[in-house]
């Protein structure tokens, strides 16, 4: 470990100031790989508990959160030293989570227990447990923090949780196995990916937060069986123009014009592409490719893949440290 | 738990304004036959076989239903073959018209006919292809795969491997021969060659193998000797009489597939891909044991029902049936692709897992086997060859 760490630190210190650290959770490798967003070189890899999946970072960049699914808790690491600072109670089998825009609290999907757990990141205590549908997975938060959306994979719903009282106020049926929920930056739209249904449900969000299902986006790639076009992770640019969607075993990221809901491009990436993360300025989008054990870096403006980098075993999630 | 469910119903109904209340009562009827213990202790039949899958499916349906005002009650009934008809009559008289049946093929037909056109029947146990062919029934959705689907799944794998020459060994009971016929059809369909078909006679209680491994090791190779050149041994042993002894006791060293070695299954307890891990964990937490095929088939039958109730927002039998048979119906079943239903014979389309006893070795349909409707239709009886007219 030291052998890797020392040259890595030197290289990092010598790099340009614009570089950010990229953190990739490796589900089967039980580790987090750290890369440099300028050189795209691997800086180090550190142990992150058993079956790390969801990964995110506090807005101030001081705390890195990892869902250690098989440890039934969230591990919190120092993004500088990679030492574990503490853990957070998460409920059983935490898979994916989302931070309130302020950095507190953390909303966690407990896949085995049909719950969303709300955890205070300062006091390290559970604030609420909210019963949701079967196999909760996707977690999205509205930009104003008033709503958290959870998707349940077997119930096939998006549950809209009011963060002021932790009660579900709206439920919307979507297609089979909803995996991810992504609000637009202005909060007027919500996109929910359905892995087995092969679609994205597009909802308009009214001022009070009420959703209306307005469209479904499908996918078509010549030479690829429709069954393999399985939307999973999704990210939208902050100007609301481009939605990027990981298509799992189709090994492609779809680029969608978020104003017309038309798919304009399919970018080939690594195998079984799962989750996505932007660099802070949205110049680059990073994809985790679970079956080829690598990440692919996409030039967002050019809508092209520029590079793939080997990481650990079965990369699952990715987050980039803020500036 | 009860408190939580109650709170959910109270607190969340507001979500979907159009929710209308529906109470869904279904029965899972399992016919228990007198049978020898399985050859392997690992396959010991638990008392809650199938019913455990029903319990999980009912919990899943209840959770989803709590957001929609739908409630589910599932009765589980285990009966002897003689008492099966009476049990169906009693359930019908009690107002139950949704049934999941775990019964052998002839009994399945008798019971499905007894339930009649006013009911809806899910087949979670009878696998003979004839029930999907000339003897199909309009009131039946076959959730469990047919022998034809299972045999085709194996055949595609042998062709993909370029092991096209089969030595087919089938048992002497009618069910074994029906399974053997499914393998013969599969060979013809996908271009495999059956070098020879051999029949292993079921001599009743005194199994050749009762005497333990010493005699098996001496006698089985003799039974298997003198076969023409072949790449693989295919075992058609629906009665669990001999197949598990075949691997390692052949004359020629060859892989065994079918009823032993590489087995085609609807599901198995080690399967992890496509989110199956969480399904296995939920099942094990609820039941305290590993899942078996009838558990999965029963779970899936009740989930097909639950999904139809969710999407049609009601419990009307005709509406449920027509939705399940429509192009709109699809369901995630931890197999990587949505499962759907063939509208012309009521068979659920689903991938078949090829299981070696420890891991998923492969999943059929194999790459490269194409079909104008769905790759899943390369498995089992296809529309042009079907003699089923009940759905027309």
Asked if A195 lies within 8 A of B332 by C-beta distance, the reply is: yes
Rg over CA atoms, chain A: 18
Closest CA–CA distance from residue B115 to any residue of chain A (Å): 30
Closest CA–CA distance from residue A126 to any residue of chain B (Å): 17
Rg over CA atoms, chain B: 22
Nearest CA among A268, A271, A273, A194 for reference residue A231: A194
- Put simply, whether B337 touches A (Cβ < 8 Å) is yes
Q: What topology is assigned to B2-145+268-350 in CATH?
A: Rossmann fold (3.40.50)
Query: Quick one: how far is CA B119 from the chain centroid?
Result: 21
Nearest CA among A179, A103, A100 for reference residue A141: A100
- The pair of three-digit structure tokens given for residue B234, joined into one six-digit string: 């295919």
Closest CA–CA distance from residue A141 to any residue of chain B (Å): 18
Residue A5 has pLDDT above 90, yes or no: no
pLDDT for B38 equals 85
pLDDT for B36 equals 82
Asked if B16 lies within 8 A of A156 by C-beta distance, the reply is: no
Nearest CA among B149, B158, B155 for reference residue B131: B149
Residue A11 has pLDDT above 50, yes or no: no
| A52 three-class SS | strand
pLDDT in tens, A13-46: 444 446 999 999 999 999 999 999 999 999 999 9
**B2-145+268-350 against B148-265: fold identical:** yes
Helices B105-115 & B84-93 angle (0-180, nearest 10): 20
- Put simply, whether A171 touches B (Cβ < 8 Å) is yes
**Domain spans, chain B:** 2-145+268-350, 148-265
The span from the CA of B95 to the CA of B98, in Å, is: 9
- H or E stretch including A55? strand A52-57
- H or E stretch including A9? helix A2-14
Closest CA–CA distance from residue B62 to any residue of chain A (Å): 9
Is-contact A126 A85, C-beta < 8 A? no
ipTM of the complex, rounded to two decimals? 0.84
- Other CB atoms within a 10 A radius of the CB of residue A222 amount to 5
Closest CA–CA distance from residue A162 to any residue of chain B (Å): 12
What angle is formed at CA B185 by the lines to CA B181 and CA B190, rounded to 5 degrees?
A: 150
CA dihedral A89, A91, A97, A102 (to 10 degrees): -40
- Would you write out chain B's pLDDT as a tens digit for each of its 392 residues? 333 433 444 444 444 544 567 899 999 999 999 988 888 888 899 999 999 999 999 999 999 999 999 999 999 999 999 999 999 999 999 999 999 999 999 999 999 999 999 999 999 999 999 999 999 999 999 999 999 999 999 999 999 999 999 999 999 999 999 999 999 999 999 999 999 999 998 876 545 455 667 777 888 899 999 999 999 999 999 988 889 999 999 999 999 999 999 999 999 999 999 999 999 999 999 999 999 999 999 999 999 999 999 999 999 999 999 999 999 999 999 999 999 999 999 999 999 999 999 999 999 999 999 999 999 999 999 999 999 999 98
Q: How many CB pairs under 8 A join A and B?
A: 81
Closest CA–CA distance from residue B97 to any residue of chain A (Å): 24
Average pLDDT of the segment spanning A133-140: 95
Q: What are the counts of helices (DSSP H) followed by strands (DSSP E) for chain A?
A: 1, 28
Is-contact A90 A108, C-beta < 8 A? yes
pLDDT in tens, A45-104: 999 999 999 999 999 999 999 999 999 999 999 999 999 999 999 988 899 999 999 999
Contacts of A156 in chain B (CB under 8 A): 64, 307, 310, 332
Average pLDDT of the segment spanning A129-135: 95
- Put simply, whether B265 touches A (Cβ < 8 Å) is no
Best residue of A132, A196, A250 to probe chain B, by most B CBs closer than 10 Å: A196
- Put simply, whether B28 touches A (Cβ < 8 Å) is no
CB-closest option in B11, B14, B63 to A134 = B63
Q: Where are the beta strands (DSSP E) in A237-314?
A: 242-246, 252-257, 262-268, 273-278, 284-289, 294-299, 304-310
Q: Among residues 239-298 of chain A, which lie with CB inside 8 Å of chain B? A: 249
Closest CA–CA distance from residue B190 to any residue of chain A (Å): 21
CB-closest option in B63, B303, B332 to A196 = B332
pLDDT for B12 equals 47
Query: Quick one: how far is CA B178 from the chain centroid?
Result: 16
Is-contact A196 B337, C-beta < 8 A? yes
Q: Buried (b) or exposed (e) across A68-90, using 16+ Cβ within 10 A?
A: bbbbbbbbbbebeebebeebbeb
Closest CA–CA distance from residue B304 to any residue of chain A (Å): 12
Helices B293-312 & B317-324 angle (0-180, nearest 10): 110
The span from the CA of A182 to the CA of A278, in Å, is: 13
Q: Among residues 175-204 of chain A, which lie with CB inside 8 Å of chain B? A: 175-177, 195-198
Is-contact A181 A139, C-beta < 8 A? yes
Q: What topology is assigned to B148-265 in CATH?
A: Rossmann fold (3.40.50)
A11 versus B159: the higher-pLDDT residue is B159
- Put simply, whether B60 touches A (Cβ < 8 Å) is yes
Contacts of A111 in chain B (CB under 8 A): 278
Asked if B332 lies within 8 A of A177 by C-beta distance, the reply is: yes
- H or E stretch including A202? strand A199-205
Asked if B332 lies within 8 A of A155 by C-beta distance, the reply is: no
The 3-state secondary structure of chain B, one letter per residue: CHHHHHHHHHHHHHHCCCCCCEEEEEEEEEECCCCCCCCCHHHCCCCCCCHHHHHHHHHHHHHHHCCCCEEEEEEEEEECHHHHHHHHHHHHHCCCCEEEEECCHHHHHHHHHHHCCCCEEEECCCCCHHHHCCCCCCCEEECCCCHHHHHHHHHHHHHHCCCCEEEEEEECCHHHHHHHHHHHHHHHHHCCEEEEEEEECCCCCCCCCCCCHHHHHHHHHHHHCCCCCCCEEEEECCCCCCHHHCCCCCCCCCCEEECCCEEEECCCCCCCCCCHHHHHHHHHHHHCCCCCHHHHHHHHHHHHHHHHHHHHCCCCHHHHHHHHCCCCCCECCCCCCCEEECCCCCEEECCEEEECCCCEEEEECCCCCCCCCCHHHHCCCCHHHCCCCCCC
DSSP string computed for A209-242? S-EEEEEEE----TTS-GGG-----EEE-TTS-E
- Other CB atoms within a 10 A radius of the CB of residue B345 amount to 27
- Put simply, whether A69 touches B (Cβ < 8 Å) is no
pLDDT for B39 equals 84
Q: What is the largest CA-CA distance in chain B?
A: 72
Residue A8 has pLDDT above 50, yes or no: no
- The pair of three-digit structure tokens given for residue A93, joined into one six-digit string: 């089998």
- Put simply, whether A156 touches B (Cβ < 8 Å) is yes
Contacts of B310 in chain A (CB under 8 A): 156, 173
Is-contact B91 B114, C-beta < 8 A? no
pLDDT in tens, A237-266: 999 999 999 999 999 999 999 999 999 999
Nearest CA among B177, B288, B197, B290 for reference residue B237: B177
**Positive or negative, the Cα torsion across A108, A112, A178, A285?**
positive
The span from the CA of A144 to the CA of A146, in Å, is: 6
pLDDT for B384 equals 94
Asked if A157 lies within 8 A of B64 by C-beta distance, the reply is: yes
Contacts of A218 in chain B (CB under 8 A): none
Is-contact A109 A136, C-beta < 8 A? yes
Sheet holding B120-123, edge to edge: B70-79, B22-31, B98-102, B120-123, B140-142
- Put simply, whether B4 touches A (Cβ < 8 Å) is yes
Nearest CA among A134, A209, A118 for reference residue A170: A209
The span from the CA of B105 to the CA of B171, in Å, is: 17
């Amino acid at each position: 470990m030291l052998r890797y760490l020392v040259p890595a630190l030197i290289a990092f210190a010598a790099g340009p100031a614009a570089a950010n650290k990229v953190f990739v959770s490796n589900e089967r490798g039980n580790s987090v790989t750290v890369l440099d967003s300028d050189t795209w070189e691997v800086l180090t890899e550190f142990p992150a508990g058993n079956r790390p999946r969801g990964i995110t970072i506090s807005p101030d960049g001081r705390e890195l959160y990892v869902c250690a699914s098989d440890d039934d808790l969230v591990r919190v690491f120092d993004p500088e030293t990679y030492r574990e600072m503490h853990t957070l109670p998460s409920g059983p089998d935490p898979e994916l989570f989302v931070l309130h825009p302020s950095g507190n609290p953390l909303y966690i999907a407990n896949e085995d227990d049909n719950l969303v757990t709300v955890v205070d990141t300062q006091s390290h205590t559970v604030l609420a447990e909210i019963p949701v549908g079967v196999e909760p997975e996707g977690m999205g938060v509205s930009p104003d923090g008033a709503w958290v959306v959870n998707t349940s994979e077997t119930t096939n719903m998006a549950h809209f949780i009011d963060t002021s009282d932790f009660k579900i106020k709206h439920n919307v049926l979507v297609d089979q196995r909803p995996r991810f929920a992504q609000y637009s930056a202005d909060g007027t739209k919500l996109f929910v990916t359905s892995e087995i249904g092969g679609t994205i449900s597009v909802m308009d969000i009214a001022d009070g937060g009420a959703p209306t299902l307005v469209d479904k986006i499908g996918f078509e790639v010549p030479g690829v069986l429709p069954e393999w076009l399985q939307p999973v992770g999704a990210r939208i640019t902050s100007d609301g123009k481009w939605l990027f969607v990981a298509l799992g075993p189709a090994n492609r990221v779809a680029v969608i014009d978020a104003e017309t809901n038309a798919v304009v491009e399919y970018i080939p990436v690594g195998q079984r592409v799962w989750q996505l993360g932007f660099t802070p300025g949205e110049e680059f989008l990073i994809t985790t490719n679970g079956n080829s054990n690598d990440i692919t870096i996409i030039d967002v403006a050019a809508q092209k893949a520029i590079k793939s980098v080997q990481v650990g075993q079965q990369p699952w999630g990715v987050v980039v440290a803020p500036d | 738990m009860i408190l939580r469910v109650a709170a959910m119903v109270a607190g969340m109904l507001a979500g979907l304004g159009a929710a209308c209340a529906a109470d869904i009562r279904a029965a899972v009827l399992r016919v228990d036959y007198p049978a020898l213990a399985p050859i392997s202790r690992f396959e010991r039949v638990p008392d809650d076989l199938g019913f455990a899958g029903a319990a999980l499916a009912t919990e899943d349906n209840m959770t989803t239903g709590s957001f929609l005002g739908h409630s589910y009650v599932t009765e589980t009934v285990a009966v002897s073959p003689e008492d099966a008809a009476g049990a169906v009559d009693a359930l019908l008289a009690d107002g139950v018209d949704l049934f999941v049946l775990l019964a052998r093929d002839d009994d399945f037909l008798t019971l499905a006919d007894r339930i009649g056109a006013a009911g809806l029947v899910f087949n979670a146990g009878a696998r003979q292809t004839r029930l999907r062919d000339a003897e199909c029934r309009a009131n039946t959705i076959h959730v469990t795969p047919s022998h034809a689907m299972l045999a085709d799944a194996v055949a595609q794998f042998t062709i993909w491997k370029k092991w096209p020459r089969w030595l087919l060994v089938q048992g002497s009971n009618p069910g074994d021969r029906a399974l053997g016929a499914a393998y013969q059809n599969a060979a013809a369909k996908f271009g495999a060659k059956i070098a020879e078909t051999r029949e292993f006679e079921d001599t009743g209680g005194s199994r050749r193998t009762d005497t333990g491994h010493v005699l098996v090791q001496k006698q089985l190779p003799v039974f298997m000797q003198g076969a023409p050149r072949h790449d693989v041994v295919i075992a058609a042993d629906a009665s669990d009489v001999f197949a598990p002894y075949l691997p390692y006791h052949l004359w020629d060293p060859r892989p065994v597939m079918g009823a032993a070695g590489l087995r085609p299954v609807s599901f198995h307890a080690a399967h992890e891909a496509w989110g199956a891990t969480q399904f296995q964990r939920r099942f094990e937490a609820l039941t305290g044991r590993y899942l078996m095929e009838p558990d999965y088939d029963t779970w899936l039958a009740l989930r097909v029902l639950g999904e139809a109730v969710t999407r049609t927002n009601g419990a009307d039998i005709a509406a449920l049936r027509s939705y399940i048979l429509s192009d709109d119906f699809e369901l995630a079943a931890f197999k990587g692709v949505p499962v759907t239903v063939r509208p012309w014979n009521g068979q659920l389309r689903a991938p078949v897992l090829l299981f070696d006893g420890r891991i998923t070795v492969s999943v059929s349909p194999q790459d490269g086997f194409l079909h104008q409707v769905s790759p899943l239709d390369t498995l089992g009886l296809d529309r042009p060859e079907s003699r089923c007219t009940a759905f027309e």
